């Protein structure tokens, strides 16, 4: 394709110029001299254009390049076009950045962008309010110099950002923040801080309320139970009152066990900071669980217990016992007499595995993820019959979370279920 700035066009121009010089030289009778003078003129003209370009690039304040002529016209016009393109691109990028910043400012949380060395690159207004940053003075500062808290320094140093960190706000002692850090882009980090004071307050109120109500219900229920037992012992076995009295006693017993479970749950919830240095003798614990299971099973089930000797766990004995015995009692309660229940405590690659497998009724897959919710029951009537409160697995979940573990459930309807958890390696102790 031919265009005005093509090499072919430039070359033709040069050829025409040289030919003209030669022609004039022949007419004058001195072609060599005229050719030399022509070439010299051409060089001077080119240098002049170069000087103009240089002047514009380095000295001139004008944004647009000077008007070029001849073969230089293409160069000047090219620069002008490139400039326009760059200006448009910069404009687009600035608009994009503006939109991004507006979006980040509209976030309901504090947002801070950090580089790989944890220096602050940018923060939104909420970060200035919640974390006390001063912008732009704090630009480029290390974030752990501004948030001076040992927990925060340790968190950022460890570089494990899977779990969020809870921290009192550097601005106010009464405000609690949840800090999350996410890696993105070219080794950059995005820190998001949320004010969770209200959530924690409400959670505390709920826990306190449940614990207080359960505690207050204990005495009236014991009194009711006592009087019911007395009335039952006084009533004639075939009198009209015998059946209602038996029912009333059964229901008060249920309420009592529910209150007990609620108290256990709130106690476990409150005791999040357990002493993980404490060693729990797991073979002793398994012996106790075996005795309990035998008493519950009343010889109607095939029980098998396997415990790896010398394999102990660190943590809270009461909480671990509560978790294990809830799983065993569930296995017995949700398995028809004659079924098989096998309990194991053994080492696996990731730590110590506790599992309870039964040949019971099993659980449909859609229920499994919700089983650890408080009061969630697959079949309330069945659960009521078996004396369930719907709190057992919630207790298990909380107790396990304090031991850095979680409950795994695998089940097949009509075939049976396996409830298990792994105490991680760092909490396991092996005796020689």
Contact residues for ligand ADP (CB under 6 A)? Answer: 326, 330-331, 334, 358, 360-361, 363, 371, 376-379, 383, 388-394, 417
Q: Which residue has the tokens 């240098």?
A: 47
Which of 337, 336, 355, 356 lies closest to 346, judged by CA? 355
Q: From the CB of 100, what's the least distance to ligand ADP, in Å?
A: 46
Q: From the CB of 304, what's the least distance to ligand ADP, in Å?
A: 15
The answer to whether 72 and 63 have CB atoms below 8 angstroms apart is: no
Query: Which residues make Cβ contacts (< 8 Å) with residue 113, sequence separation at least 6?
Result: 120, 121, 122, 123, 188, 189, 190, 191
Q: From the CB of 311, what's the least distance to ligand ADP, in Å?
A: 24
Pick between residue 131 and residue 343 the one whose CB is nearest to ligand ADP: 343
Q: From the CB of 420, what's the least distance to ligand ADP, in Å?
A: 11
Pick between residue 258 and residue 286 the one whose CB is nearest to ligand ADP: 258
Buried residues in 77-93 as b, exposed as e (16+ CB within 10 A): eebbeeeeeeeeeeeee
Beta strands 188-195; 110-114: pairing state: antiparallel
Pick between residue 270 and residue 412 the one whose CB is nearest to ligand ADP: 412
CA 73 – CA 147 distance, rounded (Å) = 59
In sequence order, the β-bridge partners of residue 167 are 177
Q: From the CB of 392, what's the least distance to ligand ADP, in Å?
A: 2
Pick between residue 124 and residue 325 the one whose CB is nearest to ligand ADP: 325
Pick between residue 353 and residue 363 the one whose CB is nearest to ligand ADP: 363
Q: From the CB of 263, what's the least distance to ligand ADP, in Å?
A: 15
Query: Could you give the C-alpha distances from 52 to 59, 83, 334, 355, in angstroms and in order?
Result: 10, 17, 94, 86
Structure token digits, residue 52: 């103009």
Pick between residue 192 and residue 395 the one whose CB is nearest to ligand ADP: 395
Structure token digits, residue 303: 């029980």
């Amino acid at each position: 394709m031919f265009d005005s700035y093509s090499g072919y066009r430039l070359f033709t121009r040069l050829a025409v110029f040289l030919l003209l010089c030669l022609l004039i030289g022949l007419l004058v009778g001195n072609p060599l001299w005229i050719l030399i003078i022509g070439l010299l003129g051409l060089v001077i003209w080119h240098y002049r254009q170069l000087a103009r370009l240089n002047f514009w690039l380095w000295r001139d304040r004008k944004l647009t390049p000077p008007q070029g002529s001849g073969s230089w016209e293409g160069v000047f016009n090219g620069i002008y076009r490139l400039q326009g393109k760059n200006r448009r691109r910069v404009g687009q990028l600035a608009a994009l950045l503006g939109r991004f910043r507006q979006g980040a400012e509209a976030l309901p949380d504090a947002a801070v962008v950090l580089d790989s060395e944890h220096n602050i690159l940018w923060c939104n207004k909420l970060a200035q309010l919640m974390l006390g940053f001063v912008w732009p003075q704090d630009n480029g500062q290390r974030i752990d110099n501004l948030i001076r808290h040992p927990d925060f320094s340790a968190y950022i140093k460890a570089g494990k950002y899977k779990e969020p960190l809870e921290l009192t706000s550097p601005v106010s002692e009464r405000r609690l923040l949840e800090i999350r850090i996410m890696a993105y882009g070219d080794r950059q980090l995005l820190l998001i801080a949320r004010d969770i004071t209200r959530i924690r307050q409400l959670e505390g109120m709920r826990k306190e309320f449940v614990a207080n109500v359960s505690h207050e219900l204990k005495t009236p229920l014991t009194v009711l139970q006592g009087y019911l037992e007395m009335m039952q012992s006084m009533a004639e076995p075939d009198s009209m009152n015998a059946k209602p009295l038996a029912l009333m006693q059964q229901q008060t017993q249920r309420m009592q066990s529910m209150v007990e479970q609620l108290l256990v749950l709130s106690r476990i919830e409150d005791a999040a900071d357990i002493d993980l240095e404490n060693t729990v003798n797991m073979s002793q614990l398994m012996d106790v669980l075996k005795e309990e299971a035998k008493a519950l099973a009343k010889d109607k089930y095939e029980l098998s217990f396997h415990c790896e000797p010398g394999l102990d766990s660190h943590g809270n004995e009461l909480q671990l016992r509560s978790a294990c015995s809830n799983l065993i009692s569930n296995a017995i309660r949700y398995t028809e007499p004659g079924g098989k229940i096998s309990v194991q405590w053994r080492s696996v690659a990731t730590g110590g595995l506790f599992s309870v497998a039964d040949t019971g009724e099993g659980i449909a897959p859609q229920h499994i993820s919700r089983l650890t919710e408080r009061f969630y029951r697959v079949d309330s009537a069945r659960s009521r019959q078996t004396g369930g409160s719907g709190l057992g697995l919630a207790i298990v979940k909380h107790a396990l979370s304090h031991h850095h573990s979680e409950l795994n459930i695998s089940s097949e309807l009509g075939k049976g279920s396996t409830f298990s958890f792994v105490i991680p390696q760092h909490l396991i102790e092996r005796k020689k």
